[in-house]
Chain A
Amino acid sequence: MASKKIDKKDIAKLLSLWSQQFAVFTPSQASGVATMAKWDGKDASFLDWYRNTVIPPKANFLPAMEEMFGFQKDREGYHIELLPSNERKQLIFGVRPCDAKALAILDMTFKEAYEDPYYLPKRSSAVLVGLGCTNPYDSCFCTSLGISPAQSTDVDLMLTDIGDEFLIEEVTDKGKELIAKATEVKKASKEEEAKAKEVKEAARQKVTRKIDTEGIGDRLLACFDDEDYWEKIAAKCISCGICTLLCPTCYCFDINDELVRQQGARFRSWDSCAFPLYTKMPMENPRLEKWRRVRQKVCHKFKFYPMNFGVIACTGCGRCIRLCPVNWDITQTLESVPVKV
C-alpha cells in the first residue's frame, strides 16, 4: 500500500481536525512530568523535546487512580451509584512502538483473561497514532524483545520522521479513516518511502543495550530457588514502586473503599509487587523478604507472563532503568542469570 506524508508544520492542523471527533492526547509536560495529556489545542511544539513520556500511555486506559462507582449507605444497606460514562473516544498521538506493544500485552490481561469493564471501553474505542523513535535512550533495549523502535505495529497510523515531513503508514482501517479527509496529507514518493525505511533501520542500529531472551524463562526457573543469587540481585533495591508503577506492561491494581458519613466511593489505583504489603495476608506474607519480591517481578515478566499468554511482559522501554533511584538494571540482572539449564 502506498504511503502518505504530512509536513511537520501541519501536524497541529491534523490534531485540530481529530479534535472534532476525539479527545486528542499528545506528549505534554504541562503537569510537571512528561505524560500523554489532553492536547493544548495550540501547536505541536512537543515534537521539539519528546523522546518518550515518563508516565506510559497505559495511564490513559488504566489511570493511576479511578473511581469505579459511588455508593450510599442507609438503614436498608448500600446503594450503588454507577458513574455516567460520557468519556470521549481517545486519540493518542505520538505513541512509541515499545508502548504500543505494551498496550497489546495489557490487552491480554484485560481482554483475554477476563473482560475489564473499566479498561476495555476506553481501550477499544481509542485510536493510536504511532511515532517512530529516532533517538532512543541508552537505557532502551526494545530490539532484544523483537521490537524495532520505528516499527509500524500495534497502532492505527504510523508516522516516521523523514526530515521536514512525516511519512504516514495506514496500519488499520481506523487509521485510514483518520486521514481520509485531511487535506494536508499528501501522497508520498518512492524516494520518501525509501528514506523512511532508512530512518527506521538507523534507529534500530542505535539501540545498543541488549538482553538474551533465548530460553530466559527456563533459566530463571532453574535458579528460582537460589536464595543467595536473588539476595545479591536484590541487595540495593529500595522496594519503591517506580519500576512497576511506571512500567508500560505492569497492570496490578489495588481496590479501596472510602465512606464518609453516608456517602462512599470505590477506587482502584496502581499497586506494585515491590511493596511488602502487596502480599500481606492475615496469617503470613509469602513475600516478606525483598529478594522474593524482586524475583517475582523478574519472573513474572520473563517466565509467568509468557506461560500464561505466550509473550514476554517487557518491551524494553527502559523506564525502569532510567527512573530507578539506585540504578537497579533489569538487563544486568537478566545477563547474570546462571546459564545452567
Chain B
Amino acid sequence: MEQRLRHEAKALLEQGKVDWIIGFEPGSLKFTTTPLITNDKNDADRLVINPFIVNNLANFLTEVKGRVGIVAKGCDSRSIVSLIQDNKVLRESVVILGVPCLGIIDLSKIERLVTKDRNELDDIIREGDKVVIRVDGEKKEFPTTQALFDNCLACEFPTPQEYDILLGEPKPAAPNLAQSRENIEKLEGMSPGERWDFWKNELNRCIRCYACRNVCPACFCQRCFVEETEPQWVLPVPRWQDNLIFQIVRNIHVAGRCTDCGECQRVCPVNIPLRSLAREMYDLVDELFHFKAGMDKDARSLMTHYEEKEAEEFFR
C-alpha cells in the first residue's frame, strides 16, 4: 500500500494533476507519524502508511491553496465529504488517496497496558487481530480491542466513502459499539448531578490551548465564538464554567459534521475525555435526523439545510 501511495503521489505531482500532496511521513519520536505537506515530487518517497497515522489530514484542506492530493482513512474521507457539503472544499480540487484502515493504535492505551511510557518500548506491531509489544526483551500480546482508539473500535466505515484512488483492498467493518461507548455508558448511568460534577472536574483543568478545535476539520469558522468580544459569549479565562460553554457550543456547531475521528480527545494535553461528548452528539444526530456525517458528497449539509416540509412548526 505504501509503495503504491508513493508511486501515485509522485505521478500526481509530476503530471501536474495536483499542486500539493498531503500525507504522512515518519515522526521524530517513536511510533509517531507527522503530516507531510509538500509540492516536491521527491518528497513522495517519505510517505508512509502504518498503524500510527493518527492525524485527520482533512483539517489542512481549507488552508492549502490549489489542487491537493490527500491521504485519507475512512473517517478522514468523511470529513472531506463533509467539507465538500459545506462548500469549503471543491470536489474537483481534491484527489483522494483512500486508505482502507484497520484502526489506529492508541499509544495512551498501550502505555496503560504495559505501564511503560511509549519511548521505553522496543516495538509495537500489528498482527491480525493482535497487537504485539516488545519491551525489555519480552513479547506481550493484546487483542486489538484493547489497543486501538475507542473511535476506531466504533468504526463502521474503515474504507473511504469517497476516493479517487483506493490504495488497498476494502476492509470489512466490524464495529464494536458497546466497547467504544464504554465511557459514555458510564456517564449515562450517572445522575444529572453526578454528571455535572464529572464534567466540572474534567473541564476544570482545560488550559484553553484550543487544540481540540484547531485539529478538528469540522471546526472551520473563520472566527470562533469564543474569541468574539462583542458580545463576549465566554471569557478566554480557563474557568471551568467558560470551558464548559466552549465545549457545549463547539459540539453543537459540529453536529452533523463530526465523523467521530477522535482527534479532539487524542490531542488534549490534559486528558479531557472529549470524545464522550462528540460521540454522544454523533449518535444523537443519527437518532434524530437519521444522518451520518460525510457519507454522500451530493447530500446537503444537515444543519444549514432547510426544506419547506420541515417537521418543526416554528420553522415554517
| Residues of A near any B CB (own CB < 8 A) | 31-33, 51, 54-55, 64-65, 137-139, 235-236, 238-242, 245-246, 254, 256, 258, 267, 269-272, 275, 277, 321-323, 325-329, 331-332
Of B29, B59, B117, B266, the most chain A CB neighbours within 10 A belong to: B29
A138 adjacent to B210 (CB under 8 Å): no
Residues of B within 8 A of A269 (CB): 208, 236-238
- Interface residue from B117, B207, B214, B267 paired with A239 (Cβ < 8 Å): B214
Which single residue of chain B is at the shortest CB-CB distance from A272? B209
User: Total number of A-B contacts with CB less than 8 angstroms?
Assistant: 109
How distant is A82 from chain B, measured CB to nearest CB, in Å?
19
B202 within 8 A of A: yes
A321 to B60, CA, bound (A): 20
In the complex, A72→B278 CA distance in Å? 40
Looking at the complex, which one of A32, A51, A241, A323 makes contact with B210 (CB distance below 8 Å)? A241
> Cβ of B37 and Cβ of A32 under 8 Å apart?
no
* Residue in contact with B237 in the complex, picked from A242, A267, A323, A328, CB distance below 8 Å: A267
Given that A238-B215, A327-B29 are known contacts, is A33 also in contact with B208, CB under 8 Å in the complex? Answer: no
Cα-based distance from A256 to B237 in the complex (angstroms): 8
Chain A residue nearest to B33 (CB atoms) is A327
Using CB atoms, name the residue of chain B closest to A48.
Answer: B115
Q: Which chain A positions have C-beta within 8 A of B30?
A: 138
Q: Is B15 an interface residue (CB 8 A)?
A: no
> Once bound together, how far apart are the Cα atoms of A235 and B270, in whole Å?
25
- Contact A325-B237, Cβ < 8 Å, known A33-B205, A235-B37, A236-B35: no
Please report the C-alpha to C-alpha distance between residue A64 and residue B235 in the assembled complex, in whole angstroms. Answer: 13
Contact of B207 among A137, A267, A270, A275 (CB under 8 A): A270
Which B residue sits closest to A29, measured CB to CB?
B271
Other than the given A242-B209, A245-B209, A327-B34, 13 more pairs (CB < 8 A) read A31-B204, A33-B205, A138-B30, A241-B211, A256-B236, A258-B235, A269-B236, A269-B237, A325-B214, A325-B263, A325-B266, A325-B267, A326-B55
Q: Answer whether A242 and B28 are a contact pair too, CB < 8 Å, given A31-B205, A256-B237.
A: no
* Interface residues in chain B, defined as those with a beta carbon under 8 Å from any beta carbon in chain A: 27-30, 32-37, 55, 59-60, 117, 119, 201-202, 204-205, 207-211, 213-215, 227, 235-239, 263, 266-267, 269-272
| Interface pair A65/B269, CB less than 8 Å apart | no
Residues A326 and B35 in contact, CB atoms below 8 Å apart: yes
Known: A54-B269, A277-B227, A322-B29. A267 touches B209 (CB 8 A): no
When distances are taken between beta carbons in the complex, the residues of chain B under 8 Å from A325 are: 55, 211, 214-215, 263, 266-267
| C-alpha gap A139/B31 in the complex (Å) | 13
A138 to chain B: which residues have CB within 8 Å? 29-30, 119
For B30, give the chain A residue with the smallest CB separation. A138
- Can you name 10 A-B residue pairings with CB atoms under 8 Å? A33-B205, A64-B208, A65-B239, A137-B117, A236-B60, A241-B208, A245-B207, A321-B29, A327-B29, A327-B34
Closest to B224 in A: A277
Closest A residue, CB atoms, query B59: A238
**Knowing A65-B239, A269-B238 touch, does A137 contact B119 (C-beta < 8 A)?**
yes
Whether A254 touches B236, Cβ cut-off 8 Å, given contacts A33-B269, A137-B119, A326-B34, is yes
Determine how close the nearest CB of chain B comes to the CB of A247; give it in whole angstroms.
11
- Provide the bound-state CA to CA distance between A271 and B271, in Å: 20
Contact residue among A238, A256, A271 (Cβ-Cβ distance under 8 Å from B214) = A238
Shortest 4 CB-CB contacts between residues of A and residues of B: A240-B211, A325-B267, A241-B209, A327-B34
A323 to B209 Cα, complex, angstroms: 12
Contacts of B55 in A (CB 8 A): 325-326
Contact assessment for A64 and B207 in the assembled complex, using a CB-CB cutoff below 8 Å: yes
Q: How far is the CA of A235 from the CA of B38 in the complex (A)?
A: 9
A270 to B210, CA, bound (A): 12
**With A and B bound together, what is the CA distance between A328 and B267 in angstroms?**
13
A242 to B206, CA, bound (A): 11
- State how many angstroms separate the Cβ of B97 from the closest Cβ of chain A: 17
- Rounded to whole angstroms, the CA-CA distance of A331 and B60 in the bound complex is 23
**Which of chain A's residues has its CB closest to B209's CB?**
A241
Question: Which B residues touch A326, using CB under 8 A?
Answer: 34-35, 55
